[in-house]
Amino acid sequence: MKRRDVLRGVALAGAAAASFPAPAIAQSTPRIQWRLASSYPKSLDTLYGASVEIARRVAEASDHRFEIRVYAGGEIVPGLQVLDAVQNGTVQCGHSASYFYVGKDPTFAFDTAIPFGLNTRQQNAWLYHGGGLPLLRAFFKTYNVVNFPAANTGTQMGGWYRKEIRSVDDLQGLKMRIGGLAGQVVSKLGVIPQQIAGGDIYPALDKGAIDAVEWSGPYDDEKLGFYKVAPHYYYPGWWEGTANVSLLVNLDEWNRLPKRYQAILEQSAAAANLSSTAKYDVLNPPAAKRLIAAGAQFRPFPAEVMEAAYKVAFDLYKETAETNAKFANIYHNWMQFRTDMLSWWRVAEFNFDYFALSHR
């Protein structure tokens, strides 16, 4: 702790000169530089932008003594290996959707979204005050990581399809770029899920190697141009009623931070979480209009497809809970929360929205 000793000397000298109790200041504001690995490319100014917002907020609140340099997906860490890089200390922190890591354990999905899960406000309620974060943090701790909600897209769309989907039959043999738990659910309905990295999706769709792709919502999707070759754009994205992206921090690095910096980092992530959803909600409406003008066909999923997927999804959770104690532990809390939440949501919130939407 040599540097701190120097700082203490500085502060005491100052205090002696002016009778001002400064030691606490200097000890708690060391210069710290972190690297953040994002899972997202710079072109996704929404999600990549949220990590830049966190870095800006941390710098401003610490007078640039705590600085975080943000690297886009692939710059120093491949986009889907951010958790590993944070866990082993390659970077101090990352910005990623935890459901990318369901291959390690499906329990990760609760941090982001599970099919037919919560909407964005409900997800935040569960995480911040409904018991979600403490449960998730006990789980993330086994990966030497502490997680902070740090961006959210809102309800996503259900993807782009070359042909119309009129029934569950139309899903048979459909090659679709879709991952995680959602991939497991749709595979039970006959879809053949594919894992394809962002830049390779459009060519695969264009040359017919895949029939459909799910990505995000209008603003993000517009950039990738899917509407040109797969114009049927379905809603809602029932596997992503919300999509929380977390700030993942190496636990040792977190524990080493002065308390002041811990507070600044935590509230910067919370502020970015709120801000990112607000940004999506402002950017998606005009993007949806532009997509429609460009020929996109917005279509609701057939009720038959929604019903079948709903049944398969909750069957999958039950099965998973029977063999995975970590998943079961969170699932039971989450399920009770969801049930209670929906019983209230249908009263004031839903009816307010319903009236507004029927009187545009």
Of 154 and 179, nearer to a copy of itself (C-beta) is 154
- Contact with a copy of itself (CB under 8 A): which of 4, 9, 142, 203? 9
Binding residue for a copy of itself (CB under 8 A) from 162, 175, 228, 260?
260
Binding to a copy of itself by residue 7, rule CB under 8 A? yes
d(CA 327, CA 139): 9
The site that binds a copy of itself (CB under 8 A) totals a number of residues, namely 95
Output the smallest distance, CB 325 to a copy of itself, in A. Answer: 25
Per rule CB under 8 A, is residue 138 in the interface with a copy of itself? no
Is residue 278 close enough to count as binding a copy of itself by CB under 8 A? yes
Comparing CB distances to a copy of itself, the nearer of 207 and 360 is 360
SS3 70: strand
- Which 156-215 residues touch a copy of itself, going by CB under 8 A? 156-157
| Contact (Cβ atoms closer than 8 angstroms) between residue 250 and residue 144 | yes
Q: Which is nearer to a copy of itself, 9 or 203 (CB)?
A: 9
CA distance 106 to 104: 7
Q: Which residue number, 19 or 323, has a Cβ lying nearer to a copy of itself?
A: 19
Query: What one-letter code names the amino acid at 223?
Result: K
- Alpha-carbon distance of 217 to 44, in angstroms, equals 12
Residues 6 or more apart in contact with residue 108 via CB below 8 angstroms: 98, 99, 100, 101, 102
Residues of this chain, 320-349, that bind a copy of itself according to CB under 8 A? 339-349
- C-alpha 34/C-alpha 305 separation (Å) is 46
Report, in Å, the least distance between residue 79 CB and a copy of itself: 24
- Helix ranges, the chain (H): 2-18, 23-28, 47-61, 82-87, 109-112, 120-129, 132-141, 180-187, 198-206, 218-224, 251-256, 259-293, 303-323, 325-345, 348-357
Which two structure tokens, joined as six digits, stand for 198?
A: 């962002």
Which of 30/78 has CB closer to a copy of itself?
Answer: 30
Give the dihedral sign, CA 104/109/110/111: positive
- Close Cβ partners of 113 (under 8 Å, ≥ 6 residues apart): 99, 123, 239, 240, 241, 242, 243, 244
Cα separation, 348 vs 350, in Å, equals: 6
Binders of a copy of itself in range 26-45 (CB under 8 A): 26, 28-29
Residues 269, 352: Cα–Cα separation, whole Å: 30
x/- map, 302-321, a copy of itself, by CB under 8 A = ----x---x-----------
Judged by CB under 8 A, does residue 279 bind a copy of itself?
Answer: yes
Q: Which of 51, 124, 184, 244 binds a copy of itself (CB under 8 A)?
A: 124
Pairing of strands 244-250, 93-96: antiparallel
Among 90, 144, 275, 297, binds a copy of itself (CB under 8 A): 275
Choose which of 187, 298, 304, 333 interacts with a copy of itself (CB under 8 A): 298
Q: How many residues does the chain have?
A: 360
Nearer to a copy of itself, 120 or 246 (CB): 120
The region of 103-111, 177-185, 199-207, 276-284 touching a copy of itself under the rule CB under 8 A is 276-284
Q: Which stretch binds a copy of itself (CB under 8 A): 59-67, 99-107, 163-171, 200-208?
A: 59-67
Interaction between residue 15 and a copy of itself (CB under 8 A)? yes
Other beta carbons within 10 angstroms of residue 338's beta carbon come to 18
Q: Which of 34, 218, 232, 257 binds a copy of itself (CB under 8 A)?
A: 218
